Amino acid sequence: MPVVDLTDHPTVKTPYGRWQPLNGPLGVAGFGISAIVCDPGEEFDIEHDETDSGQQEAYVVVSGRAAFRIGDEQVEAGPGQVVSAPDPAAVRSYGALEPGTRIVCIGGIGSDPGYGTWISDAAES
């Protein structure tokens, strides 16, 4: 069973930040999953939308604090909080508010195969 320790996993420096690619190490191909490590004031080109791909995204703050802008909305989030960008056309960006901020980014095409419905189904039984 693949397990990745984000504190040990190598980062790859790109114009878009310091990334930890996770799909290969986790053996996952049904959606995109990567982590970004960033510090306050660190400049990287992350502002984007997913209009062409139709991809929705969710961001899980693992450590530190981050500021997110999704469309016209802004929010700060800390460890254990999840921020979503369900509209592929919404321009999104984020940045660290504390040193060592790590965000796990999950993305996939926005069809609804019923992920998570088993939870409510099980709760009703």
121 contacts 45 by C-beta, under 8 angstroms: no
- Determine the CATH number of domain 12-124: 2.60.120.10
Q: Per this entry, what is the length of the chain?
A: 125
| pLDDT value of residue 107 | 93
- Structural domain spans, the chain: 12-124
| pLDDT value of residue 23 | 94
Instruction: Write out pLDDT tens, residues 19-40.
Output: 999 999 999 988 999 999 999 9
Which residues does the chain have with pLDDT short of 50? none
pTM given for the model? 0.89
Instruction: Write out pLDDT tens, residues 108-117.
Output: 886 666 666 6
The residues facing 75 across adjacent strands are 68
